[in-house]
Structure 1
Amino acid sequence: MNIQLKNENFILHSTGAVFWEKQKTVIISDVHLGKVTHFRKHGIAIPQNAVSENFRKITAVLDHFLPEKIIFLGDLFHSTKNAEWNLFEEWLSNHKQETYLITGNHDIIDESHYKKIGVIVTEILEIDAFFFTHHPTEKEDLFNFSGHIHPGIVLRGLGLQTLKLRCFFCKPNQIILPAFGEFTGKYFLKPSSEDTVYAIAGNDVIQINKE
């Protein structure tokens, strides 16, 4: 799905990533690496292959768009360092894009660890008419990219059936990205007349009519 924001073209990808064409930048939110390993350590039965699935998805996005830059919009890691940090370090060594992490509430790993592997850590990033945060934030004259909420939408059919989907939730001056990671959950939002919802249905991104 191609959308225009501030006269710039962005592509919404079915993984939950966004590609900014002019800047050749991939934007991803709420991967929550380490969450699967953390849960399994505490006896929660989550398939081990969910760990590799996060890396497979990010790699697929990079192979598709061939970006020069990656911006992670916070909650890249779910908690403290565990075995998935080593996987991330190995994965990053095979990808040479300039990489930014906008710190989120789950990002408690010390910045020095990221610095050692070449990740630039910051609370806010501004590029042209856009600014990037973890929590949805309003700032005059700038368009905000954020995550944190893990937005979802509930679609209801004529037969009272419901379908719950991840979505990109777009306000007049802001877009909230869906969670990229496996087993991250959804928070269901109800759009106003000013909002536009782009739901993820399998491999497709579909615009939902405004209410």
Structure 2
Amino acid sequence: MNADPSFAHSPTAPPPGAKAITLPGGTSLWLLPQRAVWWPAARAAFVADVHFGKAATFRRAGQPVPHGTTADNLARLDEVLAVTGAEHLVFLGDFLHARSGAADALWQQLQPWREGQAAVRMTLVRGNHDVHAGDPPEALGITLVDEPWQPMEGVEVLACHHPHSVAGATVLAGHLHPTATLYGLARDSVRLPCFAWTPGLVVLPAFGAFTGSAVDQLPPGTLRFVVAGAQVRRL
């Protein structure tokens, strides 16, 4: 594999605010400000770590967390599909947060949304939270697979939840909830979600509206692309 990631310019118009990257072998991906990856050749969009039901799980534990996160997540998924025209939506793990959050109220929101996007094929690559929370209902029409999973035959791009190396392939993953801290004047700082890219691995930011971020576990030399409002920008 080529040891140096390279940038690309798509021959077609990119989604607004997106940043293009080219993988070894010539596969073009777009990093979207909606915290998703768009793979035009596969007509597929990828998101990671939605964590549906997380806020409800916290409320059951007596924590004063906000309402409306499910509606926010669904509205932003609709935006990803509208911006890309994707025919396939791939969840890179942690679709659900916990079994306690997988309540009827959640399915009553997800089912109408899924019916409204019935033309879109959907696949969930199970993550660590999905293993404990259980699979979503069959009525949602989401295909369930385990990692590593190959979305497009003949192209060495693998969909996973956990970041890891696979010889000769590029892995799209989540799990780490990567962020980058930007510093300004007078000790000001802001933490923004980011994409992380090293040879053979692209880690997506957490998509969910109530997910937080983890301690930085990215290796030295990782290229970071921050989601700054409606733009993706390379640091």
The normalised TM-score by structure 1 is 0.90
- SS of residue paired to 2:171: strand
**Is the contact made by 1:29 and 1:178 (CA closer than 8 Å) also made in structure 2?**
yes
Aligned to 1:115: 138
Look up the match of 2:9. none
Which residue of structure 2 aligns with residue 155 of structure 1? 182
Secondary structure at the aligned position of 1:99 is classed as strand
Equivalent in 7, 15, 22 of residue 4 of structure 1: 22
Q: Which residue of 2 aligns with 1:77?
A: 96
Given that 1:153 and 1:167 are in contact with CA atoms closer than 8 Å, whether structure 2 keeps it comes out as yes
Aligned mate of 1:104, from 127, 130, 136: 127
Other structure's SS at 1:22 match: helix
Deviation at 1:18, TM superposition (A): 0.7
What residue is the counterpart of 1:181 in the other structure? 208
2:71 aligns to what?
Answer: 52
**Could you say which residue in structure 1 is the equivalent of 2:55?**
36
Shift, 1:4, TM fit: 1.3
C-alpha distance after superposition, 1:87-111 (max 9, x if no partner): 1122111112111000011113444
Find the aligned partners of 2:80 and 2:41 in 1 and give their Cα distance: 17
Off by >6 Å, runs of 4+ in structure 1? none
Matches within 5 A, 1:87-102: 87-95=109-117, 96-102=119-125
CA contact (8 A) 1:154 1:188 kept: no
Query: Among 17, 32, 40, which residue is 1:13 paired with?
Result: 32
Distance 2:36 2:180 in 1: 17
CA RMSD in angstroms, aligned pairs only: 1.7
Unpaired stretches in structure 1, ≥5 consecutive residues: none
Which amino acid counterpart does residue 12 of structure 1 have in structure 2? L
Q: CA deviation at 1:134?
A: 0.6
Q: Show structure 2 runs of 5+ residues with no match.
A: 1-18
How far does the alpha carbon of each residue in 1:10-47 deviate from its partner, in whole angstroms, 9 at most, with x for none? 11111211110111101000000111222223332222
Is the 8 Å Cα contact of residues 191 and 197 (structure 1) preserved in structure 2? no
Residue 192, structure 1, aligned to residue 220, structure 2 = yes
Residue 182 of structure 1, CA deviation: 1.0
Please tell me whether the aligned partners of residues 33 and 181 of structure 1 are also in contact (alpha carbons under 8 angstroms): yes
| Identical-residue share of aligned pairs (%) | 29
Structure 2 residue aligned with 1:167: 194
Q: Counterpart amino acid of 1:192?
A: P
TM-score by length of 2: 0.82
